[in-house]
Structure 1
Amino acid sequence: MKNTSLALITMVFVLLLSCKQNEKQEETEEIVDIQKVEAIFPQGQKGSDTLFTGNAYNYGLVPMDSTYTMLVGNVYFEPGARSNWHTHPAGQILIITDGEGFHQIEGQPIEVLKKGSVTKCPPDAKHWHGASPEKGMQQLYILPNTEKGVVNWMEPVTDEQYMGN
């Protein structure tokens, strides 16, 4: 009887331990899933190495035309990727759909962007944006009043500027 009870207790202990192991594995898998950047749109075309540090991919959604006079697209920045400094004659609106990154208007502190962030860049304001070092970022961009122009590209953002130094 003692041996049967001991065997039964051992089996219950092993089953409980096994269940705990499965729970930990599921929790770890959930954490890993949270770190992925979910794409809504196709990746698009890789941006020019002369305009971006790292890899950024553009996918146009609403082409420029004389009726809507706006341009809308999606950019995916891989971790650490960022645009050069640039301006938009009529300004720009960014809507972050996943991941995390940064946006900075010249002379202002770096703004941290996360899924759900919306930021506006005034007309002709020199700025840059891109992913954080650890995680990529998906953004929708809206460029209004394209009859005024689209973008004026400038110099790359230095590593010191990117890191906020």
Structure 2
Amino acid sequence: MDIIRGDEAAQSKGPEEYFTGEVTISSQFQRDAPSRLTGAIVSFSPGARTAWHTHPLGQTLFVTAGTGWTQCEGGPIVEFEAGDTLYCPPGHKHWHGATPNSAMTHIAVQEALDGKNVTWLEKVSDEDYLRGPER
């Protein structure tokens, strides 16, 4: 049994090429084969978000704090909050992050296929992001 203590978990800043705004990634993990499980705790400051991306085997997000937005390509921006669970099917182009006025933290869990768990794409423009959910 491996235990990574909370105060020992490495934290890093979300790379600018994949994130807009202030994002902190902590407790990142990838298990050894035969497991394909990968994951991390990701915290977004207000206004922060991922770039568009896909996951070869899908992704599940467990929202632990705050309020966020997500969008699948061609669909509306949808709001979610702490306690919600989001599932994005394999290969679906999407983004997610905090709202402009609320921070958000989620636990992201996905599987790797041939060692790769995500394909990063272009950034979400401020104009597209600020459209927000339809009310």
User: Normalised by the size of structure 2, how large is the TM-score?
Assistant: 0.84
What corresponds to 1:105 in structure 2? Answer: 72
Code of the residue aligned with 2:73 in structure 1: it is: E
Match 1:73 to one of 37, 40, 53? 40
Question: Which residue is 2:3 aligned to?
Answer: none
The superposition leaves residues 18-74 of structure 1 with CA deviations (integer Å, 9 ceiling, x where unpaired) of xxxxxxxxxxxxxxxxxxxxxx88682101111111011111343232132110210
- Where does structure 2 lack aligned partners over 5 or more consecutive residues? 1-5
Aligned to 2:20: 53
8 Å contact from structure 1 (residues 43, 76) kept in 2 = no
Shift of 1:113: 1.3
Q: Say which structure is richer in strand.
A: 2
Q: 1:163 maps to which residue?
A: 130
Which protein has the bigger helix share? 1
Structure 1 residue aligned with 2:49, among 74, 79, 82?
82
**What residue in structure 1 maps to residue 113 of structure 2?**
147
Instruction: Identify the structure with bigger relative contact order (alpha carbons < 8 Å, sequence gap 6+).
Output: 2
State the secondary structure of the residue aligned to 1:147. Answer: coil
TM-score (norm 1): 0.70
Q: Choose from 62, 68, 92 the match for 2:29.
A: 62
CA shift, 1:88, in A, is 0.7
Structure 1: state its 5+ residue gaps. 1-39
**RMSD (CA atoms):** 1.9
